[in-house]
Amino acid sequence: MEALLKNTAQRNEENFDLNIAYFKQNGFCVIKGVFESSDVIKERERVLSIIQEQKTKESRFVRGSLFLGEENFLSFSKIPSWCMSRLYEFTWNSMPKSTLEIHSKAMFVKKHFDYRDEHFGLGVGEKFYGHYLSTSLYPTNPAGYLIEHFDGHKEDGTIVHYMVPLSNKGSDFSSGGLFIINKSNGKKILIDDEAKMGDLIIFDGTLVHGVDKVLASKDQQMGRLAQFMISTYFEKPNFYSLPLRKIKIFFKELLNRHGLIQLR
């Protein structure tokens, strides 16, 4: 771990302060070459094989209500708010060391951009606080997307998110992808035009962002794949927790399909 952290600091030493200044001004930045390409290629192959293997299992999208000790699962959902597959992996289900190393490094870098409280997100002493790994695949057929939205409340100040790209625009999909509205000039920025595998995206979740329809121009383009570790409070499950969550999601998605509620 020590070696990894040193490596991160060395690789970005000249650019690091520049990245922080750019982030403060614009609300996002792409840090180039944070990860070895062999490490991200290995991670991409790992998650793609899980998605391939489990995609026939029917599971809906989940936001919130994650339970302590639950199994990893893959979900797919196509509603007006989004179209994507999302793989949920939990640290208690033995995550590969190489995966944890990528995200320890990403979270270490992210801390430099987060000024709220030096202990924020560490979850020390907090009840059921932890992290889970989220991998999103926005396919090309049907075209994946996530409607524009912002996370939290504007009054919260900055919410720093990071994202590890596991696909490249150009070879894996031809148009669309992650966009963010620049804080300084209100312009729409297509982040995936710049962020490639091996880079790390940092952005302020309170800025308007989303994923424009991911489209292919040739056959065999899989779409947009990206990964991030999310901090959350897990709930203590009982016998009814999982079936109840299933029913809640079913109705939320139904209401969204009929334009009665907005999901984000």
Token readout for 212 is 């424009």
Residue number with CB closer to Fe ion (50 or 159): 159
| CB 161 to Fe ion: min, Å | 7
Residue number with CB closer to Fe ion (78 or 149): 149
x/- string (CB under 5 A) for Fe ion, residues 96-135?
----------------------------------------
Residue number with CB closer to Fe ion (183 or 216): 183
Alpha helices in the chain (DSSP H): 2-26, 37-54, 97-111, 241-257
Residue number with CB closer to Fe ion (203 or 234): 203
| 37-54 vs 97-111: helix crossing angle, rounded to 10 | 120
- Strands 223-233 and 209-215, bridge-based pairing: unpaired
Is 178:186 a contact under the CB 8 Å cutoff?
no
Binding-site size for Fe ion (CB under 5 A) equals: 1
Token readout for 177 is 């992808």
For Fe ion, the binding residue among 53, 126, 151, 194 (CB under 5 A) is: 151
Residue facing Fe ion at closest CB distance: 151
Residue with tokens 């399909």, as numbered in its chain: 257
| CB 150 to Fe ion: min, Å | 7
Which residue stretch of 50-58, 146-154, 213-221, 242-250 sits at the interface with Fe ion (rule: CB under 5 A)?
Answer: 146-154
| CB 155 to Fe ion: min, Å | 17
Kindly state the helix (H) or strand (E) to which residue 193 belongs, with its residue range. none
Task: State phi, psi for 186 to the nearest 5 degrees.
Answer: 70, 10
Token readout for 118 is 């030096």
| CB 264 to Fe ion: min, Å | 7
Residue number with CB closer to Fe ion (53 or 151): 151
- Cα–Cα distance measured from residue 98 to residue 206, given in angstroms and rounded to the nearest whole number: 30
Residue 142: cis peptide before it, omega within 30 degrees of 0: yes
Which residue stretch of 107-115, 134-142, 151-159, 215-223 sits at the interface with Fe ion (rule: CB under 5 A)?
Answer: 151-159
156 binds Fe ion (CB under 5 A): no
| CB 230 to Fe ion: min, Å | 11
| CB 207 to Fe ion: min, Å | 10
Residue number with CB closer to Fe ion (7 or 75): 75
Dump the DSSP string for 50-75.
Answer: HHHHHTTS------S--BTTPPPEEE
| Calculated CA dihedral for residues 225, 55, 259, 247, nearest 10 degrees | -130
Residue number with CB closer to Fe ion (82 or 234): 82
Q: Give the residues lining the site for Fe ion (CB under 5 A).
A: 151
